[in-house]
Each structure stands twice: as C-alpha cells, then as structure tokens.
Structure 1
Amino acid sequence: MALSDFYDSHSDYKTRLALTTIDSKKDVVRAAGAALDLIKNVEVQAIIGPTLSTQAKFVIELGQKAQVPIISFSASSPFLTAIRSPYFFQATQNDSTQVNAISELVKAFGWRAAVPIYIDNEYGEGLVPYLTNALQAVDARIPYQSAISPSATDDQIVAELYKLMTMQTRVFIVHMFPSLGARLFAKAKEIGMMSEGYVWIMTDGLTAEFLSSPKSFSH
C-alpha cells in the first residue's frame, strides 16, 4: 500500500521496487533459511525483517557476509544494538528505552521490590540487566528472576506461578512473546493471582499486542 501511494505521487519514477514476501513462521531456522534464499536465489538488494529478535541475530550475520542491508522494524532486543554491523538497521525503539518508565512507576507507588518474569531466550534476557539497573536506581530490589522457557507446558507455567505465590513480592514485570504471555496470564487468573494485592506490569511488546488484539488476552 505504501509503495502504491508513493508511485501514485511520483509517477515520473521509472525504477520500481519489487517486494518478495516469505513467512518464517516465527522460527529461527526458517528465518535464516529464508534470508539465505532471498540473498542467493532472489538476489535482493535489502531485507526488511525479521520480526523477532531471536531470528535477527542469524539474519544479520548473513546480511553482513553478503553485504545486504537488514532493516528490522520490530526486533527490539538490546542485544542487537551490540552487533556493530553497517548492514543492520534497527528501525524500532530498543527495549531498554522503557525501563526508566517502569522504574518510575515502581517508585511512584512506593513498591520496594519487583520480580521480572521473562521468556528464557535472547529477547527476554536482553532487557533484564537494564531493568535491574533502573530498579536499583529507585531503591527497588529484585529478589528473584523468573525465566520461562518458550516451550514451557501449562503445568510448568503453573508450577512457576505457585513458586512466585510463596514469595512476599507481589509486583511482577512481564517481558515475553504475546503467545506465551497470554498463557501465563490465563494460568495466573486461574490460580487467583489476578486478585487484589497483585500487580502486573507488561512491557511494550505485550502491551502493543494487547491493544491490537484484546481478545487474545480476554480469557
């Protein structure tokens, strides 16, 4: 649609941009394979994507070797910022930009501790050091870090939630993919962790999905 609008306004442009779309199915291996196919066989001049931070690392390496620019509009992990490649453009805000807002919220309500609950991969781990520093700056401690596997079963999620219930801290900061987040909140509601006295703070990735698809969290 953007291309159509652009060429409608610039009808004198003779060069036309051709888009080739491949769905990686949110899989790391498929994303790397798709990027390799686009570079070698389609001979693209740039790649827009991938959507996930976990996919981006491998695609960036392929783009670096082939000297093909990689432009990601949604891979937001701070880990990607450390990849110093002239062929990678992180066209979105880094996840670390939101930690000060979260810590100020914790400070404003006078909470003295908070537990991060994050997906156990590069996307989840990337935010934790920045969040830890931001909370320490407002004198809030992190007594425990809850890392949940992307492939965790419902029983494993419930077991981790029960562990959290035994702790004194009732403030949780959730940073994970929406698919896992929806399951986490569903199980937390089932066992009574959405009742008065509990605080749940979602990071941007989850909040954006909640606003765009509220039904996915309604259960």
Structure 2
Amino acid sequence: MALSDFYATHASYRTRLVLNPRDSKSAVIGAATAALDLIKNVEVKAIIGPQTSMQANFVINLGNESHVPIISFSATSPSLTSLRSPYFLRATQNDSFQVHAISSIVQAFGWREAVPIYIDNEFGEGIIPYLTNALQSINIRVPYQSVIPSSTTDDQITL
C-alpha cells in the first residue's frame, strides 16, 4: 500500500510518515554510514533496514546507543536477537527456522550422516547448533563440521 493510498483512506490521521531512503550499496560500511546520517542529521524515529545480517549487526549497535528502533525484514541470523538489543525488531523468521526443512531433506534422501559446511563468521556459525540439533533429533549423525574461512574467494573453493 502506498503512503498516498493510506492517507487518502485515513485523512483524519495527523501523524505523517516521511521516508528518507538511503542506499548502502550492499556494504556494511555503507549501511552504518547511512544509519548514522539518518540518526544524527535527519533525527529519524526509526530505521527500516538493513538488508543483511552483517549490516544489521553494526546498525543495531547504533540504534541501541541512540535509542532508535532498527526494523529489518531480511536480517535472519539468530545471533542478532538478544536481550542486549532492545531496539532491534526482526520482521522475518531467523535462520534457525530453516533447519527442520534442511533436516527433512537429509532424511528424505535416506542419509544417515551429514556434514554441515559454513563460513567462519558469527553468522555462518549461528545456525550450526540449531542444524546439528535438528539432524540429531532424527538420528542423523553429524561426525564433524567443515568451516570455510571468511577470506576465501569463490575461486579457492573446489569440490
């Protein structure tokens, strides 16, 4: 629903929503810079975004420090949700909700063992305990986990 449609339907509403879009260029620094500009210079009451968990991790800290709610529709890492982040609102389910689907796929193939492969950062490892528990709960053995260093390039990853 467009803002104009909303206010046309609710003409008596006195509070007006003003959007101040910023483009982070899909970068963590870009998201932090945009959030800081919105907080300090525009004095926004809330920030909708950021798009990724990496961006959200930094922007959440800015929101907590300035008491500005950060609302994300796409940051999914379970590690972002914390009692220490009272100004972060996740408007989507976190990654841990995917583990039952993943474990069901492993079970459907009849595999008795699975090795999770993940990137070595807090977001890559955030889902691993949930995935391991879900796999083990249906008697799928997890003999080890394979970690890919975060500095690895696509060219360095081979099968």
Instruction: Give the structure-2-normalised TM-score.
Output: 0.88
> For the residues of structure 2 that align with 1:119 and 1:6, how far apart are their CA atoms?
43
Looking at structure 2, the residues matched to 33 and 144 of structure 1 have their Cα atoms a distance apart, in angstroms, of 39
3-state DSSP class of the match of 1:115? coil
Instruction: Report deviation, 1:135.
Output: 0.7
* Structure 1 unmatched runs, 5+: 162-219
In the TM superposition, what whole-angstrom CA distance separates every residue of 1:14-69 from its partner, at most 9, and x where no partner exists? 33211111111222222112111110011001000111111112111111111111
State the distance in 2 between where 1:6 and 1:153 align: 46
Partner of 1:116: 116
Alignment of 1:62-141 (within 5 A): 62-141=62-141
Partners of 2:46 and 2:39 lie apart in 1 by 8
Deviating 4+ runs (over 6 angstroms):
none
Shift of 1:74: 0.6
Identity %: 69
Tell me what 2:59 maps to: 59
User: Is the 1:119–1:125 contact (alpha carbons within 8 Å) kept by the matching residues of 2?
Assistant: yes
When residues 131 and 7 of structure 1 are mapped into structure 2, their CA distance, relative to the original with a 3 A threshold, is: same
What root-mean-square deviation, in Å, do the aligned CA atoms of Structure 1 and Structure 2 show?
A: 1.9
Which consecutive unaligned segments of at least 5 residues does structure 2 have? Answer: none
Does the 8 A contact of 2:36 with 2:62 survive in 1?
Answer: yes
CA deviations on 1:134-173 (whole Å, 9 max, x unpaired) are 1111111223433334553333112xx2xxxxxxxxxxxx
Render the CA deviation track for 1:72-99: whole Å, top value 9, x for unaligned: 1110101012353221101110110121
Report the Cα offset of residue 113 of structure 1. 1.3
Match of 1:49 in 2: 49
2:3 corresponds to which letter in structure 1?
L
- C-alpha distance 151-20 of structure 1, shift in aligned 2 (>3 A): farther
Normalising by structure 1, report the TM-score: 0.66
Q: Contact 1:53/1:122 (CA < 8 Å) preserved in 2?
A: no
Amino acid at match of 1:131: L
Q: How many residues align structurally?
A: 159
Q: Equivalences for 1:148-167 in 2 at 5 Å? A: 148-149=148-149, 151-158=151-158, 161=159
- The structure in which a higher percent of residues are helix is 1
